[in-house]
Amino acid sequence: MSVQDVAVYALLAAGVACELIACLGLAVMRGAYDRLHYLAPATLGGILIAGAVWAREGPSGIALKATVVAAFLLIASPALAHATARASRISELGDWRAQRGEGIEVEEP
Amino acid sequence: MNEWEIATAVLVAALLPCGWVCVRRSFAEGAVAVQLAGTIGALAILVLAEGEGREPFGDLAVVAAPLSFAGMLVFLRFLERMR
């Protein structure tokens, strides 16, 4: 087994492990806001899997596609998590901003 | 079955908890689960393409990731209007 194979297996295993951690967190946590935190390991897993493809193939078409997917996840996932939290607060409270009684300092208009 | 195909099988199995949350929990929690499922699904297709040695299958992952993002935005629009 070469050093390249070890790197590929390690990156692939780490990437899949990150996805499993994200799934476990999603299943175990309570509430949408707690579950949202476990989208971050999924994004990291995507980057690690793209790294595994790069380590195995080098510069190639599939490596480029893996990089595009990982880059898109890196950009889109935090934005979507923010949008999800915002939509959830609007659905619950009618406004996404901090409300009185939440223990957050609210600025007077 | 090589290691990439095993990884694909694990990733597909990881979709089950997402489905469970979608079915059993609230709309907002289901939206989070769909978002995670979209990420895992795109990565599963990518890993399968690499495992099978078929580069064109990687295009599916490149398309699935943005479509999942766009679909989620529509779901979030519905979520905002649910009161």
What b/e string do you get for B32-52 counting C-beta neighbours within 10 Å, with b at 16 or more? bbbbbbbbbbbbbbbbbbbbe
pLDDT for the residue numbered A105: 74
The token pair at A38 is 């476990």
Q: Which residue has the higher pLDDT, A100 or B77?
A: B77
Neighbours of A42 (CB within 10 A): 27
pLDDT tens across B7-55, in order? 999 999 999 999 999 999 999 999 999 999 999 999 999 999 999 999 9
Mean pLDDT for chain A overall = 92
Checking A91-94 for CB contacts under 8 A at 24+ apart, the result is A91/B27, A91/B28, A91/B79, A91/B80, A91/B81, A91/B82, A91/B83, A94/B83
Do the chains contact at B7 and A66, CB–CB below 8 Å?
A: no
| A37, B36 Cβ separation under 8 angstroms | no
Rounded to a whole number of angstroms, the distance from the CA of B8 to the nearest CA of chain A is: 9
In the predicted model, what is the mean pLDDT of residues B57-81? 94
In chain A, residues 69-88 whose CB comes closer than 8 Å to chain B = 69, 72-73, 76-77, 80-81, 83-84, 87-88
Do the chains contact at B61 and A9, CB–CB below 8 Å?
A: no
CA angle at A11 for the pair A21 and A62, rounded to the nearest 5°: 110
pLDDT at A78 over 70: yes
pTM score: 0.92
pLDDT for the residue numbered A109: 62
pLDDT for the residue numbered A92: 87
